[in-house]
Structure 1
Amino acid sequence: METLINYFETIPSTHRSLILVGGITFFWLLESAVPLFKFKYNKWKHAWPNLFFTGTTVIINFVLAFLLLQTSRWVVANDFGLINWLPAMPLWLYVLLGLLLLDFFGAYLAHLVEHRIKPLWMVHLVHHSDHKVDTTTANRHHPIESVIRFTFTLVGVFLVGTPIGIIMLYQSMSLVFTQLTHANVKMPKKLDKLMSYVLVSPDMHKVHHHNLLPYTDSNFGNIFSIWDRMFGTYMELDREKIVYGVDTFPDEVKNSDLKELLKQPFQGYRSPTNLEELRKANN
């Protein structure tokens, strides 16, 4: 465990890039071999806006990374934060608690708040408005959301008191998990269910991408499923019944256009006004 943490304390930027590019490539090929849904779409055309947002997310996180580093140095130097106030423990437990708590603040709580506060939901909507969820959807976040997510992570680092090695390990795990859980991969149901007792599984997260409430407001976790189970936001839905998108923004053409997606957070929220519109939104 010490070797692992030492590696992530000084992980080269090229290695982090390999995790991102390698993960997308691996799951891109895997979902082509064993797809959950047989989408009829141009995979490259669909990927373009998603990869653009992946790029903006990388740039924003790179530019703001010094804040994580400085905060981590401060909490370690001052013995500040939840995991530093606990009694002495084995390194593996210290790392596990750090990962769990970072996942709570940086992923679960951030995600939950984005669904509860209307202006933040309009920003997060860019992620949910993908009608063909695959591994490129993983980092389909509006630049404003990238800043929001980073802020929650930064607060998490401060409150938890995590050293940089755990932060880099968490971010690497988070990246791989979000690519896995969004990938259009058909995992055996029993294996997926078994995985979901501890970790966020592909089927578990895809319920979150169903276009209708209450499923949209469930399964907020990224790495660990414990937070959804603990706070009552865990839900199940047969994967064959999942329909991607958001019922109040059903226009797939607009939701695939980069310019429209960049403007999406600033559009007025609307509800379907009649049964016919509801029917169209759900088909």
Structure 2
Amino acid sequence: METIIAYFSTIPSSHRAAILAGGIAFFWLAESVNPLFRFEYRKWHHAGINLFFTLTTIVVNFVLAFLLLRSADFVHENRFGILNWLPQMNVWLYAIIGLLLLDLIGAWLAHFVQHKTRSLWRFHLIHHTDTWIDTTSANRHHPGESVIRFIFTVLAVLVSGSPMWLVFLYQSLSVVFSQFNHANITLPRKLDDWLSYVIVSPDMHKVHHHYVLPYTDSNYGNIFSVWDRLFGTFRKLDKAQIVYGVDTHMDPKDHNRLGNLLKIPFAKYRPTTQKPSK
């Protein structure tokens, strides 16, 4: 564990970029071997849009990184946050508790709040407009949403009391898990079901991308599935029934043009009109 702590305490930016790029490349290849759905789409055009949003997310995180560093320094210097208030424990248990807390606040809560707050949903909506979910969809976030998510990450650091090495470890895992559960891949049903008791599996997360309520408002998790099961937001849907997208923006002019996607948060609000068919 000491090796892991030492590595993530000083992880170079180039290594973090390699984790991001390597994950996309790996799951991109896996999708061509055993896809969940065989999409009829311009794959490179779709990837270009999503990679643009990936780059804007990187820029936002880079510009605001000093806030994350100051937050981690603050909790360390002032012994602030849950991890600092707990009795001394095994370092592995410490890391697991820290990752769970970071995932709860930085991912699950951030995601839940964006779905329940209209002004924040306008930005998160861009992620849900994607009708061809694959590994590049993982970072399809409007720059405004990237800022919102960053704020929740800072909040997660302050509440959990996580040191910077644990934050970097969490962010690296978060990137890979997000690429994994968005990837257009097929796992054996039983394996996916078993995985979903611990982590967010591909079939579990795909339910969240079904185009109508109540499925859109379910399965908010990113790494750990425990929070959806604990808070009653876990749902299942047979993958044969899944239709990607969001019912208010099913027109390709809405979801497959970069300029239109950037404008969506500032356009006239379109309320959800459809319910799932019985």
Q: TM-score range by the shorter chain?
A: over 0.9
Is residue 18 from structure 1 mapped to residue 18 from structure 2 by the alignment?
A: yes
Distance 1:264 1:176 in 2: 28
Is residue 146 from structure 1 mapped to residue 141 from structure 2 by the alignment?
A: no
In the alignment, what sits opposite 1:29?
Answer: 29
Distance 1:152 1:270 in 2: 26
In the alignment, what sits opposite 1:87?
Answer: 87
Distance 1:228 1:263 in 2: 31
| CA shift digits 1:200-255 (9 cap, x unpaired) | 00000000000010000000000000100010000000011100000122212321
Alignment of 1:1-283 (within 5 A): 1-271=1-271
Give the CA deviation at 1:42: 1.4
Distance 1:14 1:123 in 2: 29
User: Secondary structure at 1:217's aligned position in 2?
Assistant: coil
Unaligned runs of 5+ in 1: none
Distance 2:142 2:270 in 1: 20
| CA shift digits 1:20-78 (9 cap, x unpaired) | 01110111111011100000111101111110000000011011111111110111111
Give the CA deviation at 1:270: 2.4
Structure 2: which amino acid aligns with 1:151? I
Distance 1:225 1:69 in 2: 28
Distance 2:88 2:22 in 1: 37
User: Secondary structure at 2:88's aligned position in 1?
Assistant: coil
Unaligned runs of 5+ in 2: none
Structure 2: which amino acid aligns with 1:216? T
Identical-pair percentage: 60
| CA shift digits 1:70-107 (9 cap, x unpaired) | 11011111111001101111000111110000001100
Normalising by the residue count of structure 1, what TM-score does the alignment of the two structures yield? Answer: 0.95
Give the CA deviation at 1:267: 1.6
User: Secondary structure at 1:234's aligned position in 2?
Assistant: coil
The number of equivalent residue pairs is 277
CA RMSD of aligned residues (A): 1.5
Normalising by the residue count of structure 2, what TM-score does the alignment of the two structures yield? Answer: 0.97
257 and 197 in structure 1: CA distance in 2 versus 1, 3 angstrom threshold = same
User: Secondary structure at 1:24's aligned position in 2?
Assistant: helix
Displaced runs of 4+ in structure 1, greater than 6 A? none
User: Secondary structure at 2:216's aligned position in 1?
Assistant: helix
Give the CA deviation at 1:272: 7.2
Structure 2: which amino acid aligns with 1:57? T
User: Secondary structure at 1:216's aligned position in 2?
Assistant: coil
User: Secondary structure at 2:38's aligned position in 1?
Assistant: coil
Give the CA deviation at 1:271: 4.4
Structure 2: which amino acid aligns with 1:206? K
